[in-house]
Structure 1
Amino acid sequence: MLSIAITGAGSGIGLRAARALAAAGHHVLALCRDPDRGRAALADINARAAHPADLVQADLSAPASIEAAAEQLARTAGRLDVLINNAAVFDQTLRAPQFAVDGHELSWTTNHLGPFLLTARLSRLLAAADRPRVINVASKGLLSMPRIRIRFDQLDDPSWYSPTRAYYHAKLAQIMTTFTLAERAAGHLETTCVRVPAVRLDPDRVAAMPWLQRTLYAPKNRMAAPAERLGETYARLATWDGNLPGPYVDEDLRPVRAPAFAYDEAARERLWTVSQAATGHPTWAW
């Protein structure tokens, strides 16, 4: 039985992965931002679970919440075999940037700094496992931005903001962090990043959209991949027998190329240094 933590386990792909892994007999630690949604998700997961899952409240935009979640996980599990950094925010209705409690732009802190800090805080639990893995998540939409780069001098500058730019910017950072972590923890930790395509939204997410956006989004949502399929992708990676298929893989677990900037070693090191400073210089196990 593996001990597997999944962020964003309250809905979408995270919920489907949690269901599949718990049903297969693994101990799932379901990290959710919203307590009510989390309790509903936990009931759903445990209705099919061979081993009961545990709920952990975690808001990845709030460092204090991340610290509390890491402490709870340390009490709940003596080790952590797999961490799946699935949670992300992508609100296309926003016309101006929002800022989190740490002062950083919401997408940057939720989609990159939060997972970075959580991974650091859980690194000792991961190091206690025989064959620990970290699975990060990027987006197939990055194919439309082959020249995307990290805006090191404008990380929280509202002048270039749009929901789409901010989202893909943070997802590029996740790929780069995956590559750097693989190098820093070589021989002690396996890492991969999944390039997720457009995913069909849950009905309640669609219902919450403004009428016009819901109408415009309907055709795309019908054509998007079912969340169940991507949940199985996560589950396969978490339980993969042997070496992971690659540092960056698509939804079918085939190795794919990342944006060119992700292979810039100096940029990756700079991103790591910037992320360390922005998250309070957390200590890593490796």
Structure 2
Amino acid sequence: MGWNPRQIGDLSGRTAVVTGANSGIGRHEAAQLAEHGARVVLAVRDVDSGRAAAEGMKGDVRIAHLDLASLASVRAFADGIEEPVDLLVNNAGLMEPPRYRETVDGHELQFGTNHLGHFALTALLLPRLLQAAAPRVTTVSSIAHFRGNDAVLEGNPPQTYVPGTAYGQSKLANLLFALELQRRADRAGLALTSTAAHPGVASTGLVADPDGLGHNPVVRHVLPILMRVVLPGGAGGARPVLYAATDAAPGTYTGPKGPGEVRGPVGEAKQSRFARDESLAARLWSVSEELTGIPFPVEG
């Protein structure tokens, strides 16, 4: 049977922040954490859809606006958190916009949203995380990180933009960040656990997002139907992330263990050689500090 969310312990008295918690696997992650007693902050770009998602959840849930494509929004969100944060789930993501687009700060949209936004959020929330007894940060990557390489340091420039490759680079950045955060926490002697996870391939609204793959009407209307027939839904995709967020050992990467890591029981996920490159991770960390203008308060 393997691990399942029923094995999550009592989270009463703990605060969890989940980005992109209004839909897809993020909504299932937030619902499970709340059901097990956590106070959950749904960090969402669309507050109305966040409220709709919260109505179907049991427990202590609140909604806060967060646009990861805007560093000003990330700062405002972090400034609004006034309590210790026991768990941060860097879950939100954008997948494969057909044309090159930028965040309000001038970064390629996928790299800026999926990686830089979460890098900045984690840095700005670190003081609140370190106020908790046993803080955890879980960052969601993807099997698409295998498309990435050391050009991740370039941040997906417009002259080489290919939607799927750019997505893969952003997901490699997520994994490099999560693993490097654990190394730096260990060197600093911080009681912080950083983990990473990927959902496999889940049937969620991400593939129908008109800002991503769903720009194609056929993809937007037909692919979700086909995926629901053969792939797990948001609850199945959330399982590896919930394990990483609550039970997994520090510095681990979790995913489905079935063929191709598309679906299956929770277990250790495979990492590309670039994901295992500690020098690349350290250089990405420096690049991310420079691009966000936010010095991360955990030294290398």
TM superposition score normalised by structure 2 = 0.83
Which position in structure 2 is the counterpart of 1:13? 25
* Aligned-pair CA distance for 1:212: 2.0
- 8 Å Cα contact 2:24-2:204 kept in structure 1: yes
**Counterpart amino acid of residue 110 in structure 2:** S
Q: Which moved more, 1:81-90 or 1:94-103?
A: 94-103
Q: Does 1:191 align with 2:194?
A: yes
Which position in structure 2 is the counterpart of 1:31? 43
Q: Does 1:90 align with 2:95?
A: yes
Q: Does 1:3 align with 2:12?
A: no
Partner-residue secondary structure (3-state), 2:98: coil
For residues 264-283 of structure 1, what are the structure 2 equivalents within 5 Å? 264-283=277-296
TM superposition score normalised by structure 1 = 0.87
Partner-residue secondary structure (3-state), 1:131: coil
* Aligned-pair CA distance for 1:109: 0.3
Identity %: 31
- 8 Å Cα contact 1:39-1:55 kept in structure 2: yes
**Counterpart amino acid of residue 23 in structure 1:** E
Which position in structure 2 is the counterpart of 1:227? 234
2:251 and 2:121 map into 1 onto residues whose CA distance is 23
- 8 Å Cα contact 2:244-2:254 kept in structure 1: no
- 8 Å Cα contact 1:246-1:255 kept in structure 2: no
Change (3 A) 1:178 1:206: closer
Which position in structure 1 is the counterpart of 2:168? 168
- 8 Å Cα contact 2:199-2:240 kept in structure 1: no
2:269 and 2:250 map into 1 onto residues whose CA distance is 10
Partner-residue secondary structure (3-state), 2:226: helix
Change (3 A) 1:264 1:101: same
**267, 273, 281: which one pairs with 1:254?**
267
Partner-residue secondary structure (3-state), 1:151: helix
Partner-residue secondary structure (3-state), 2:150: coil
**1:90-109 deviation per Cα after TM superposition (whole angstroms, max 9, x unaligned):** 14xx3321111000010000
Unaligned stretches of 5+ residues in structure 2: 1-11, 257-264
- 8 Å Cα contact 2:42-2:62 kept in structure 1: yes
Partner-residue secondary structure (3-state), 1:6: strand
* Aligned-pair CA distance for 1:140: 1.9
Partner-residue secondary structure (3-state), 1:73: coil
**Counterpart amino acid of residue 218 in structure 2:** L
- 8 Å Cα contact 2:195-2:245 kept in structure 1: no
2:154 and 2:85 map into 1 onto residues whose CA distance is 35
**Counterpart amino acid of residue 267 in structure 1:** L
For residues 98-247 of structure 1, what are the structure 2 equivalents within 5 Å? 98-143=101-146, 145=147, 148-151=148-151, 154-186=154-186, 187=189, 188-202=191-205, 205=208, 210-213=216-219, 214-216=221-223, 218-240=225-247, 244=249, 247=252
* Aligned-pair CA distance for 1:161: 1.4
Change (3 A) 1:221 1:167: farther
RMSD: 2.3
**Counterpart amino acid of residue 120 in structure 2:** L
Unaligned stretches of 5+ residues in structure 1: none
Aligned residues: 272
- 8 Å Cα contact 1:82-1:132 kept in structure 2: yes
- 8 Å Cα contact 1:245-1:255 kept in structure 2: no
* Aligned-pair CA distance for 1:266: 1.8
**Counterpart amino acid of residue 81 in structure 1:** D
1:285 and 1:246 map into 2 onto residues whose CA distance is 16
Change (3 A) 1:224 1:206: farther
Change (3 A) 1:163 1:132: same
**1:119-173 deviation per Cα after TM superposition (whole angstroms, max 9, x unaligned):** 0000011111111111011112345x3xx31315642421221221111101001
**Counterpart amino acid of residue 200 in structure 1:** S
**Counterpart amino acid of residue 54 in structure 1:** R
- 8 Å Cα contact 2:85-2:128 kept in structure 1: yes
- 8 Å Cα contact 1:138-1:193 kept in structure 2: yes
